[in-house]
Chain A
């Protein structure tokens, strides 16, 4: 059974005003448990709107959302439980930090959940480990950390709630390449260790191709496609038509194929590209 399922999900902003606008329209989705899904799409394609429905922060104008088979808007209690089951990390989450110390800030979520003191402690330690923050950070004020560290604290704040589904909205926005790699590797490790479902909103096809098992492509409020990385990039032409770029190595290899250098498979990541180059092409040339 799919852990996340939406049926005809539609959301209008500003209903009843001259500015009424459909941010997402008739979204039907089924996401299986344990996937690491990359959500990709143009600016304004409705990614943030969609994910805010998945833990009930936004109420759909029409349609249904099922988490674990239950409609999340069935009752207030279920909605409350969903908030905890589906952890949502917003874009620029470091702006939500407010406590005196890192430790206390991460404990905010678990405390709201009604964890016992012992459980809170354990959850905080676990979350800090997940995002690679050493114990030295515990007593520091979140406001004196660097941007990347703050962001890790904020992500830990959600991980500490032990959600079954973790959703991150552009967790790498505004970070340098090294900070980006750190965060993405942490998320990937977290996914592997916990076997949880993770949704990762991103603007980078490279990152999605490298880390995710499935890709959800949004276009103008609709689901353009949902499938494995290979399935998605097999529609490279269409994807480029809606203004998204396939990874640069993929383009490089299709250009090479046209020149007669067949790789024999689609290539999405630099790592795989390197292997193929070394194995197939360079051997032949005797370089």
Chain B
């Protein structure tokens, strides 16, 4: 069923990771991504792996969730690895026709694969432990300085919030319309590509009609409650940095610095 697609992958919880300020989490994830592309040493990656594992355990996210997040990008990982495998210069280990595999190629391929996997697992942590609404809230706050150059920060954030709010609703609606048309004998699964594209019309039109209707209703409801953009708007949920954020930032910082130092001082492999 459509609703099995997990877009709001939020795992509600009360762990330390959940309670961190979403802004702190976003900044830490950005730092983490930079770190991933700075270090090259296997020992550093082992440290990073342990670090991730500890956070996942603290946040009580099941291992299944990690696999579910990584699975969809496996083809991408495979693709980059294969490219790296064949197109990195160096002393060839195996040679066949125009293809050659080098030791450097193998290590670069493995490095890239590990990097991407760590990247996904690390950033999933953010969406797994932060509600989408808190996330857009934090993005709005972090991007606030851009208002100076007239970037519509509030409007962007409001659009994101609304989109996130309506994704499950629209999925449910799609499900319902699909069932209704199937009950009228619509065949959505078989036939040529053109036939299948045509079969989408009875689903897309009602879906659009209802999406526009919803949008109108929502606009009306917002207007009735005197919504008039971000100017002078106060918030129900204020974001505050706490000691918890400071402590986790320091702890994370220590791990990151350790990873970089290990990378600098251990003998280079790649």
Contacts and interface: CB of A to CB of B under 8 A. Distances in A.
Interface string B141-179: 000000000000000000000000000000001001101
- Bin the interface of chain A by size: 20 to 34
A205 interface: no
A249 B210 CA distance: 40
A247 interface: no
Contacts, number: 53
A84 interface: yes
A98 B177 CA distance: 11
B179 A98 contact: no
Contact of A83 (B177, B182, B205): B182
Interface string B94-122: 00000000000000000000000000000
B183 A87 contact: yes
B206 A95 contact: yes
Interface in A38-63: 52, 55, 57
| Prevailing SS type, chain B contact patch | helix
B185 A52 contact: no
B185 A96 contact: no
Nearest to A90: B180
Interface stretch (A105-113, A178-186, A223-231): A105-113
A95 B210 contact: yes
A200 to B, nearest CB: 16
Contacts of A97: 206
B179 A52 contact: yes
B210 A83 contact: no
A96 B206 contact: yes
B187 A98 contact: no
Contacts of B176: 90, 95
A88 B181 CA distance: 10
8 contacts: A57-B179, A83-B183, A95-B173, A95-B210, A96-B202, A98-B202, A108-B185, A108-B186
Given A57-B182, A88-B183, A95-B173, 17 more contacts: A52-B179, A55-B183, A83-B183, A84-B185, A87-B183, A90-B180, A95-B176, A95-B177, A95-B180, A95-B206, A95-B209, A96-B177, A98-B202, A98-B209, A108-B185, A108-B202, A112-B187
